[in-house]
Amino acid sequence: MFSIDAPVDIQNSEYCNYRSPLSTRYASKEMQYNFSDQKKFSTWRKLWIYLAKAEKELGLDITNEQIAELESAVHDIDFTKAAEHEKRVRHDVMAHVHTLAERCSLAAPIIHLGATSCYVGDNTDLIVIKHGLELLLPRVAAVIKQLAKFAEEYKSLPILGFTHFQPAQLTTVGKRACLWLSDLLMDERALSRAKDDLRFRGVKGTTGTQASFLQLFKGDTSKVRALDERVAQLAGFDKRYLVTGQTYSRKVDLEVISALSGLGATVHKMCSDIRLLASRKELEEPFEATQIGSSAMPYKRNPMRSERCCALARHLITLHANAANTHAVQWLERTLDDSANRRITLAEAFLTADATLLTLLNICQGLVVYPKVIGRHIAQELPFMATENIIMAMVQNGGDRQVCHEKIRVLSHEAGAQVKQQGKDNDLIDRVKNDPYFAPILSQLDSILDASTFIGRAPDQVSEFIEEEVNPIIVKYADILSKVEKPVTLNI
């Protein structure tokens, strides 16, 4: 039998309990609070107050004193007593109903009046999701703004493009950053749409028919509808789901997590690119003066921030399947096999996205470019890319294209052998210069090999893209960006 041989009291030491890295290392305090017990259960109490207020407005026998008593206890939660009740009744909502009733004896008879557990559970989840998206979206905008500055600064700096991770025609550092930006704009749109589409479950009863509320209001269907509208309004929602089962459809969770998962894919792609470029020493994430890259190799500057982003993003991507499977197995009006899963999946999706964006913003605030290394890499490949331009120049000077093509082909293969077999630099241009056949165009070689002539409209594309598509998003978040774009210091 397995036994624990621990030198400390594992029951009372916080370091002997599992603690999520999302809360101890990665996610912000704001997002952690959003998914905290304090936020959850104080929101339950607010929802009971909203229900009581709306029921009173519509004629039920509820007093101002009862509501005031509930309001005085919103944040005063006896978690120990609630845990004791839950251990006895095995029901989290009823445990908190009893805890609040003991605190508010005057209001006890009207707490949770006509409601089912999902009234507080589901509506709280929707409020927490809404607040989570409101925390994430400005972080996305801050990354977009920082990356846009980077793209504008380096919009004209030529760099090797890659297809199949093989050197291809040149692009620019700024244009490549715009590819990352384009994906981030799609993520901002998806997250904004998820937030704007979010509605309130409202007061729907045990199977969504509102039967209990119809009984409370003696068959007055207009008052039941008004109650649903008023509670949603008090909770800060102008739209509600008109039809639900016992729960709001878990398709809503799927839509939200799909957007978060899509953000994960964007970040993973971007940070993988940064890791590849760091390996080529062309671009580097921030590296602090006292930072250690390797315990055994002191010279190393590992891209640990980008690696962290990729690790977190991969987890975020996988949560999409969890949400999809949970929605798929919700039989009829609901089953309870969503509950334990959602406690983990919803929180981890938002905390992981939050941690990923914090790290990504830190990266974007300190990206370093090494133009001389980039230039050296271009010099190694550009002679091959310039062969067509050399042929065109020779033809314009009276040469025969087919003859020129064959000469360039032979010289290119010879130069390629020097690079691949001898490990030497690309000497194609020296071979061209030493061949009398190319004498008519030797004076043009410098201009033919000017890297800036190989980047097409990349600089203009960057400027147009930022002006037309990026800046409107930055303006959209202008009022709040100053609070989230301050230099990010990572916890660890």
Q: Of 98-112, 232-246, 296-310, 320-334, where does mean pLDDT reach its minimum?
A: 296-310
Pick 45 or 2 by higher pLDDT.
45
Residue 386 pLDDT level (bands cut at 50, 70, 90): confident
Percentage of residues in the chain having pLDDT higher than 90: 71
Q: Is it true that domain 32-110 has CATH number 1.10.275.10?
A: yes
Q: How far apart are CA 354 and CA 264, in angstroms?
A: 11
Listed by start position, the domains of the chain span 32-110, 117-160+172-286+301-369+470-480, 387-448
Residue 11 pLDDT level (bands cut at 50, 70, 90): low
User: How far, in Å, are 269, 372, 405, 412 from residue 167 at the CA level?
Assistant: 19, 17, 21, 15
pLDDT at res. 196: 96
Percentage of residues in the chain having pLDDT higher than 70: 93
pLDDT at residue 33 tops 90: yes
Tell me, letter by letter, the H, E, C secondary structure of 147-196: HHHHHHHCCCCEEEEEECCEEEEEEEHHHHHHHHHHHHHHHHHHHHHHHH
pLDDT at residue 284 tops 80: yes
Residue 192 pLDDT level (bands cut at 50, 70, 90): very high
Q: How far apart are CA 156 and CA 151, in angstroms?
A: 9
Q: What is the mean pLDDT of residues 161-180?
A: 94
pLDDT at res. 1: 47
Core vs surface per residue 290-329: b (16+ CB within 10 A) or e = eeeeeeeeeeeebbebbbbbbbbbebbbebbebbbebbee
pLDDT at residue 174 tops 80: yes
pLDDT, one tens digit per residue, over 429-467 is 889 888 999 888 888 888 888 888 889 999 999 999 999
Same CATH topology for 32-110 and 387-448? no
pLDDT at residue 16 tops 60: yes
pLDDT at residue 94 tops 80: yes
pLDDT at residue 97 tops 50: yes
Q: What is the mean pLDDT of residues 64-91?
A: 94
Q: How far apart are CA 393 and CA 389, in angstroms?
A: 6
Residue 369 host element (H or E): strand 368-369
Q: What is the mean pLDDT of residues 95-104?
A: 94
Q: Of 5-14, 146-155, 164-173, 194-203, where does mean pLDDT reach its minimum?
A: 5-14
Token pair 């993003």 is found at 313
Active site members? 164, 294
| Residues in Cβ contact with 103 at an 8 Å cutoff, skipping those fewer than 6 apart | 73, 76, 78
Q: How far apart are CA 239 and CA 386, in angstroms?
A: 60
Phi, psi of 125 (to 5 degrees): -60, -40
Name the CATH architecture for the domain at 387-448.
Orthogonal Bundle (1.10)
Identity of the residue numbered 397: N
Homologous superfamily assigned to 117-160+172-286+301-369+470-480:
Fumarase/aspartase (Central domain) (1.20.200.10)
Residue 300 pLDDT level (bands cut at 50, 70, 90): low
pLDDT, one tens digit per residue, over 395-417 is 998 889 999 999 889 998 898 89
pLDDT at res. 450: 87
365-367-370 Cα angle (round to 5): 155
Q: What is the mean pLDDT of residues 179-184?
A: 98
Q: What is the mean pLDDT of residues 161-189?
A: 95
pLDDT at res. 229: 96
pLDDT at residue 319 tops 60: yes
Q: What is the mean pLDDT of residues 333-353?
A: 92
Phi, psi of 31 (to 5 degrees): -70, -35
